[in-house]
């Protein structure tokens, strides 16, 4: 159920309607839009009786949401969600196509700083890197843990990049929330419902990767889990699904981008690194992702991919990332969007904070 308030409703009106909803034993989610505020109702076991809400003076209408996902849906919020970050002018979901780049895993301070400097110079505003790695083999590199997070925090300090890193379980999520700017939930955890709920109680935006065999509805329902706990800053990420095709690691499903945008107000970005698994396919698929309307890219870049402890085969050399940025910037322009310009000396000012 969705309560649409009149355009002139005040903050006090919003609060009063939320209190009324909560007094019925339900949860209220006030979502301000460009034209008016809508309040989503969750927690109901059956039908909600609309009369009690329709009678309030500031309420325009009470609508039954037809989809199983409610807070994620465009029915609740017509205009696109733009994720903002404190002390930064970088956004995800706005006119600027967000670029997140960095190694698969944080391996050492030197490796992280070398990649960060290069991606920042090329114009990326976000730095990726796993401190906790979900690996298929228990014997493969599992990440540096909290040390990896500390290195990433130092990268933010040095280059002004916002930090995106994965939480694999409840313990790591608590740590990642402290250090990161965006909490990544990986493909393997897309239906880890208790982790999704915990991410929903976190105070940082969540980057939710599509599960390897998730349908669009399952993907959106996973985002709904996060939002239902009160965290409305969710960014979706297409990273390829399993198919019979074996010329790539996964099959990058770019058609999901417009499909998501039709149904949901949430931003959607694309990961051509995991989506293809092959370095020589990352740039072409990045171009295609921007052309199809993705709100961002997440790209693996390593200073020495042949020695990478994870995902070397799909990691770009820094020079290749430079070219990728030049190409996708041109494509963004055709669509009336932008990608941040290269920066000669990346520092705090790149994140919108005045340099010392």
Structure tokens given for 132: 């906790």
Task: Tell me which of Mn ion, ligand PEP, none is bound by residue 109, counting a contact when its beta carbon lies within the kind-specific cut-off of 5 to 8 angstroms.
Answer: none
DSSP 254-316: TTHHHHHHHHB-S-EEE-HHHHH--HHHHHHHHHHHHHHT-SEEEEEB-SSGGG-SS-GGGPB
Looking only at Cα atoms, what is the longest distance across the chain?
A: 66
Question: Between residues 134 and 293, which has the closer beta carbon with respect to ligand PEP?
Answer: 134
For residue 134, the minimal CB distance to ligand PEP (Å) is 6
Q: Are the beta carbons of 250 and 239 closer than 8 angstroms? A: yes
Residue nearest to Mn ion (CB): 104
From residue 327, alpha-carbon distances to 73, 93, 101, 203, 291 in Å are 33, 20, 15, 35, 11
Per the CB < 8 A criterion, the answer to whether 112 and 86 are in contact is: no
CB of 300 to Mn ion, least distance (A): 6
| Among Mn ion, ligand PEP, none, residue 106 binds (CB under 5-8 Å by kind) | none
Q: Cβ 220 to ligand PEP, closest distance in Å?
A: 17
Among 209, 265, 302, 337, binds ligand PEP (CB under 6 A): 209
**20 scored as a contact of ligand PEP (CB under 6 A):** no
Cα gap 128→345, rounded to integer Å: 19
Q: How far is the CB of 274 from ligand PEP (least distance, A)?
A: 4
> Binding of ligand PEP at residue 279 (CB under 6 A)?
no
Torsion of CA 308, 269, 254, 303, to 10 degrees: -20
In whole angstroms, the minimum distance from the beta carbon of 326 to ligand PEP comes to: 24
Helix (H, G, I), strand (E, B) or coil at 346: coil
- Contacts with ligand PEP, 139-178, as mask; x by CB under 6 A: ----------------------------------------
Q: How far is the CB of 212 from ligand PEP (least distance, A)?
A: 8
> CB under 5 to 8 A by kind: which of ligand PEP, Mn ion, none does 187 bind?
ligand PEP
For residue 274, state whether it binds ligand PEP (rule: CB under 6 A): yes
Which residues, at least 6 apart from 188, have a Cβ–Cβ distance to it below 8 Å? 134, 211, 212
Could you give the CA distance from residue 64 to residue 286 in angstroms, rounded to a whole number? 38
Return the residues of window 99-138 that contact ligand PEP according to CB under 6 A. Answer: 104, 130, 134
Q: Which residue is nearest to ligand PEP (CB)?
A: 186
Of 77, 141, 155, 73, the closest CA to residue 107 belongs to: 141
Which of 94, 148, 160, 186 binds ligand PEP (CB under 6 A)? It is 186
Between helix 170-179 and helix 146-159 the angle, nearest 10°, is 20
* Single residue of 239, 265, 281, 329 touching ligand PEP by CB under 6 A: 239
Least separation in angstroms between residue 310's CB and ligand PEP is: 7
Interface with ligand PEP by CB under 6 A: which residues? Answer: 104, 130, 134, 186-188, 209, 239, 271, 274
């Amino acid at each position: 159920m969705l309560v649409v308030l009149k355009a002139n409703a005040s903050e006090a009106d919003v609060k009063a309607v939320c209190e009324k909803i909560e007094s019925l034993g339900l949860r209220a989610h006030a979502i301000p839009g460009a034209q008016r505020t809508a309040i989503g109702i969750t927690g109901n076991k059956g039908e909600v009786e609309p009369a009690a809400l329709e009678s309030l003076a500031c309420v325009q209408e009470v609508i039954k949401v037809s989809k199983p996902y409610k807070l994620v849906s465009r029915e609740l919020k017509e205009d696109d969600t733009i994720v903002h970050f404190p002390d930064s002018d970088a956004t995800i979901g706005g006119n600027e196509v967000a670029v997140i780049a960095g190694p698969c895993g944080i391996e050492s301070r030197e490796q992280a700083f070398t990649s960060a400097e290069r991606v920042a110079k090329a114009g990326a505003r976000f730095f990726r890197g796993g401190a906790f790695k979900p690996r298929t083999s228990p014997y493969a590199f599992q990440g540096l843990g909290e040390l990896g997070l500390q290195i990433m925090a130092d990268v933010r300090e040095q280059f002004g990049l916002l930090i995106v890193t994965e939480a694999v379980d409840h313990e790591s999520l608590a740590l990642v929330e402290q250090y990161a700017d965006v909490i990544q939930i990986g493909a393997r955890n897309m239906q880890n419902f208790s982790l999704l709920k915990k991410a929903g109680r976190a105070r940082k935006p969540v980057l939710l990767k599509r599960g390897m065999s998730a349908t669009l509805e399952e993907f959106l329902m996973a985002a709904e889990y996060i939002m239902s706990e009160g965290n409305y800053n969710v960014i979706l990420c297409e990273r390829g699904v399993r198919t019979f095709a074996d010329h790539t690691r996964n099959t990058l499903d770019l058609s999901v981008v417009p499909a998501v945008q039709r149904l949901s107000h949430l931003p959607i970005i694309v990961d051509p690194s995991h989506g293809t698994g092959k370095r020589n396919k990352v740039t072409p698929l990045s171009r295609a992702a921007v052309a199809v309307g993705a709100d961002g890219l997440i790209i693996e870049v390593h200073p020495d991919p042949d020695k990478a402890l994870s995902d070397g085969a799909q990691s770009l050399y820094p020079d290749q990332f430079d070219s990728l940025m030049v190409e996708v910037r041109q494509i963004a322009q055709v669509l009336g969007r932008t990608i941040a310009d290269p920066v000669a000396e990346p520092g705090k000012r790149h994140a919108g904070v005045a340099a010392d």
